[in-house]
A and B are shown apart, each in its own frame.
Chain A
Amino acid sequence: MRLNGSQLVMEVLLEHGVDTVFGYPGGTALNLYDALYEYQGKIRAVMTAHEQGASHAADGYARATGKTGVCIATSGPGATNLVTGIATAFMDSIPLVAITANVPDSMIGKDAFQEVSISSIVIPVTKHTFFVNRIEDLEDALFNAFRIANSDRKGPVLVDITKDVTAAEINRKPRKPMPVNPVPTFSDEALHSVATMINKAEKPVIYCGGGVAACEAGEELLALMDKADIPAAHTLMSAGVVGYDNPKNLGMAGMHGSIAANRAFDRADLILAFGTRFSDRVALNPDKFGKRALKVQVDIDASEINKNVIVDLGIQADVKDFLIKLLPLVKKKSHPEWLDLATGWKTTTGDVKSGDAELHPSEILHTICDLTDKDTIYVTDVGQHQMWSAQYLKHEHTKQFITSGGLGTMGYGYGAAIGAQIARPDCRVIHLTGDGSFHMNLNEACTAVSEELPITTVLLNNQVLGMVYQWQGIFYGNRYSSTDPHRKTDFVKLAEGFGAKGYSAKTPDEFEAAFRDALTQKGPVWIECAIAKNEYVYPMIPGGGTIEDMIIG
Chain B
Amino acid sequence: MDKTERSEILSILVVNEPGVTARLGSLFGRRGFNIDSFTASPTNDPKLTRITIATTGDDRKFDQILTQTAKQEFVKTIDIMGKKSIYRELLLLKVKATKKERSEIREIVEIFRGKIVDLSKQSMIIEVTGSSAKIDGFMNMMSCYELIDVCRTGVTGINRGDAGISDSTDED
Q: Which of A's residues lie within 8 Å of B, judged by CB?
A: 119-120, 123-124, 127-129, 131, 148, 152-153, 301-303, 305-307, 310
Tell me, in angstroms, the Cα distance from A2 to B68 when the chains sit together. Answer: 41
Q: Are B73 and A128 in contact (CB under 8 A)?
A: yes
Tell me, in angstroms, the Cα distance from A131 to B74 when the chains sit together. Answer: 14
Q: Are A303 and B19 in contact (CB under 8 A)?
A: no
Q: Which of A123, A303, A310 contacts B71 (CB 8 A)?
A: A303
Q: Report chain A residues within 8 Å CB of B19.
A: 119-120, 123, 129, 131
Tell me, in angstroms, the Cα distance from A524 to B71 when the chains sit together. Answer: 42
Number of A-B contacts (CB under 8 A): 36
25 interchain pairs (CB within 8 A)? A119-B19, A120-B19, A123-B19, A123-B23, A123-B26, A124-B26, A124-B30, A128-B72, A128-B73, A129-B19, A131-B18, A131-B19, A148-B73, A153-B71, A301-B71, A302-B67, A302-B71, A303-B64, A303-B67, A305-B67, A306-B1, A306-B60, A306-B63, A307-B64, A310-B1
Q: Report chain A residues within 8 Å CB of B70.
A: 302-303
The size bracket of the interface on B is 10 to 19
Question: Is B22 in the interface zone, CB < 8 Å from A?
Answer: yes
Q: Report chain B residues within 8 Å CB of A301.
A: 67, 71
Tell me, in angstroms, the Cα distance from A307 to B60 when the chains sit together. Answer: 8
Q: List the 3 shortest-distance A-B pairs measured between CB atoms, nearest first.
A: A303-B67, A128-B73, A302-B67
CB nearest to B65 among chain A residues:
A303
Q: Could you tell me which residues of chain B, from 74 to 130, have a CB within 8 Å of some CB in chain A?
A: 74
Q: Report chain B residues within 8 Å CB of A123.
A: 19, 22-23, 26
Q: Could you tell me which residues of chain B, from 2 to 32, have a CB within 8 Å of some CB in chain A?
A: 18-19, 22-23, 26, 30
Q: Report chain B residues within 8 Å CB of A307.
A: 64
A255 to chain B, nearest CB (A): 24
Q: Are B60 and A310 in contact (CB under 8 A)?
A: yes
Q: Report chain A residues within 8 Å CB of B23.
A: 123
Q: Report chain A residues within 8 Å CB of B22.
A: 120, 123
A185 to chain B, nearest CB (A): 15
CB nearest to B29 among chain A residues:
A124
20 more A-B residue pairs beyond the given contacts A123-B23, A303-B68, with a C-beta to C-beta distance below 8 A: A120-B22, A123-B22, A124-B30, A127-B73, A129-B19, A131-B18, A131-B19, A152-B71, A301-B67, A301-B71, A302-B67, A302-B70, A303-B64, A303-B67, A303-B70, A303-B71, A305-B67, A306-B60, A306-B63, A310-B60
Tell me, in angstroms, the Cα distance from A120 to B26 when the chains sit together. Answer: 10
Q: Report chain A residues within 8 Å CB of B63.
A: 306
Tell me, in angstroms, the Cα distance from A153 to B74 when the chains sit together. Answer: 16
Tell me, in angstroms, the Cα distance from A128 to B72 when the chains sit together. Answer: 8
Tell me, in angstroms, the Cα distance from A301 to B63 when the chains sit together. Answer: 13
CB nearest to A310 among chain B residues:
B1
Tell me, in angstroms, the Cα distance from A127 to B74 when the chains sit together. Answer: 10
Q: Report chain A residues within 8 Å CB of B60.
A: 306, 310
Q: Report chain B residues within 8 Å CB of A131.
A: 18-19
Q: Report chain A residues within 8 Å CB of B26.
A: 123-124
CB nearest to B25 among chain A residues:
A123
Tell me, in angstroms, the Cα distance from A128 to B60 when the chains sit together. Answer: 25
B72 to chain A, nearest CB (A): 8
B169 to chain A, nearest CB (A): 18
Residue from A119, A123, A128, A131 whose CB has the most chain B CB atoms within 10 Å = A123
Tell me, in angstroms, the Cα distance from A153 to B63 when the chains sit together. Answer: 18
Tell me, in angstroms, the Cα distance from A119 to B1 when the chains sit together. Answer: 37
Q: Report chain B residues within 8 Å CB of A310.
A: 1, 60
CB nearest to A124 among chain B residues:
B30
Tell me, in angstroms, the Cα distance from A152 to B72 when the chains sit together. Answer: 11
Tell me, in angstroms, the Cα distance from A296 to B22 when the chains sit together. Answer: 35
Tell me, in angstroms, the Cα distance from A307 to B1 when the chains sit together. Answer: 12
B120 to chain A, nearest CB (A): 39
Tell me, in angstroms, the Cα distance from A129 to B17 when the chains sit together. Answer: 12
Tell me, in angstroms, the Cα distance from A148 to B23 when the chains sit together. Answer: 16
Tell me, in angstroms, the Cα distance from A302 to B63 when the chains sit together. Answer: 9
Tell me, in angstroms, the Cα distance from A502 to B157 when the chains sit together. Answer: 68
Q: Report chain A residues within 8 Å CB of B72.
A: 128
Tell me, in angstroms, the Cα distance from A301 to B67 when the chains sit together. Answer: 8
Q: Could you tell me which residues of chain B, from 41 to 74, have a CB within 8 Å of some CB in chain A?
A: 60, 63-64, 67-68, 70-74
Residue from A128, A148, A303, A307 whose CB has the most chain B CB atoms within 10 Å = A303
Q: Report chain A residues within 8 Å CB of B18.
A: 131
A261 to chain B, nearest CB (A): 27
A460 to chain B, nearest CB (A): 35
Q: Report chain B residues within 8 Å CB of A303.
A: 64, 67-68, 70-71
B150 to chain A, nearest CB (A): 31
CB nearest to B71 among chain A residues:
A303
Q: Report chain B residues within 8 Å CB of A302.
A: 67, 70-71
Tell me, in angstroms, the Cα distance from A129 to B19 when the chains sit together. Answer: 10
Tell me, in angstroms, the Cα distance from A234 to B68 when the chains sit together. Answer: 26
Residue from B18, B22, B23, B67 whose CB has the most chain A CB atoms within 10 Å = B67
Residue from B19, B60, B72, B73 whose CB has the most chain A CB atoms within 10 Å = B73
Q: Report chain A residues within 8 Å CB of B68.
A: 303
Tell me, in angstroms, the Cα distance from A152 to B67 when the chains sit together. Answer: 13
CB nearest to A303 among chain B residues:
B67
Q: Report chain B residues within 8 Å CB of A127.
A: 73
CB nearest to A123 among chain B residues:
B26
Tell me, in angstroms, the Cα distance from A148 to B64 when the chains sit together. Answer: 21
Tell me, in angstroms, the Cα distance from A153 to B72 when the chains sit together. Answer: 12
Tell me, in angstroms, the Cα distance from A499 to B50 when the chains sit together. Answer: 59
Q: Report chain A residues within 8 Å CB of B1.
A: 306, 310
Tell me, in angstroms, the Cα distance from A301 to B19 when the chains sit together. Answer: 24
CB nearest to B26 among chain A residues:
A123
Tell me, in angstroms, the Cα distance from A129 to B60 when the chains sit together. Answer: 28
A178 to chain B, nearest CB (A): 13
Q: Report chain B residues within 8 Å CB of A305.
A: 67
Tell me, in angstroms, the Cα distance from A119 to B18 when the chains sit together. Answer: 11
Tell me, in angstroms, the Cα distance from A303 to B30 when the chains sit together. Answer: 15
Tell me, in angstroms, the Cα distance from A119 to B19 when the chains sit together. Answer: 9
B115 to chain A, nearest CB (A): 40
Tell me, in angstroms, the Cα distance from A128 to B20 when the chains sit together. Answer: 11
Tell me, in angstroms, the Cα distance from A303 to B63 when the chains sit together. Answer: 8
B27 to chain A, nearest CB (A): 8
Q: Report chain B residues within 8 Å CB of A153.
A: 71
CB nearest to A125 among chain B residues:
B30
CB nearest to B60 among chain A residues:
A306
Tell me, in angstroms, the Cα distance from A256 to B60 when the chains sit together. Answer: 29
